[in-house]
Amino acid sequence: MAMSVFLTGSADGIGRATAAALVRAGHRVVLHARNAERARQAEAAVPGADGVLVGDLASLASTRALGESAGAFDAVVHNAGISGGPHRQATGDGIERLFHVNVVSPYLLTALMPRPARLVYLSSGLQAAGEPVLDDLQYEVREWSAAQAYADSTLYGVALAFAVARRWRGTLVNAVDPGWVSTRMGGPGAPADAAEGADTPAWLAVSDDPAARVSGRFFARRRPVAAHPAASDTTVQDQLLAACAELTGVPLPVP
């Protein structure tokens, strides 16, 4: 059965490859890009897609507008993500940039968009090195480390997925480690290509395979794998949700 799917960050890399795979399989796919130029690139790269929505995930106002106008989908894949630079940077909203794009924006879209049947959150194997420092989520106190901040953001992404899975029992919610993939973020030396990285999120978004119709799991290569223990800690989950709700002014809806 054909499904409708929305993918964030689908102008290139794993997001574009995921979108292309879903279009080839006959699904209705809506792309996302952060600006009009990137939107044109996305549409050219995935010509069978059913349009592209524009929204800057480093802006609360832009993300809020995207979430309020996107409409309903059978599945939403939160693929967009960034890595950090040598110095701590804040967005125009005063939020540390990695935490904003990788954690706060997927939270805000999740809270605002009509609840889909499936949610997929892209993370990384580096989540295992994350440190859940809940009183300093944005590196306002700790010395900045781009590598550690990125690992932390991927851990929080898994915790977000698990928190939503726990609260929204009627939705299949999972997180994915796509592997080390040769993209702009992964670099040319990565051993896997974008199509390999896209396989598991695409499968989770639409497959009728019983192995894909589960919730609250962390997947790699279509198999559930162990996540950082903190991701399953309900105290970590609830404090993360509370922090995101405070930053955005939008609580996660109660089912």
Spatial distance between the Cα atoms of 107 and 125, rounded to a whole number of angstroms: 20
Spatial distance between the Cα atoms of 166 and 255, rounded to a whole number of angstroms: 11
Which structure tokens are listed for 37? 């130029």
Q: Is 107 a catalytic residue?
A: no
Instruction: From the candidates 107, 121, 139, 150, give the one annotated as an active-site residue.
Output: 150
Q: Catalogue the active-site residues.
A: 150
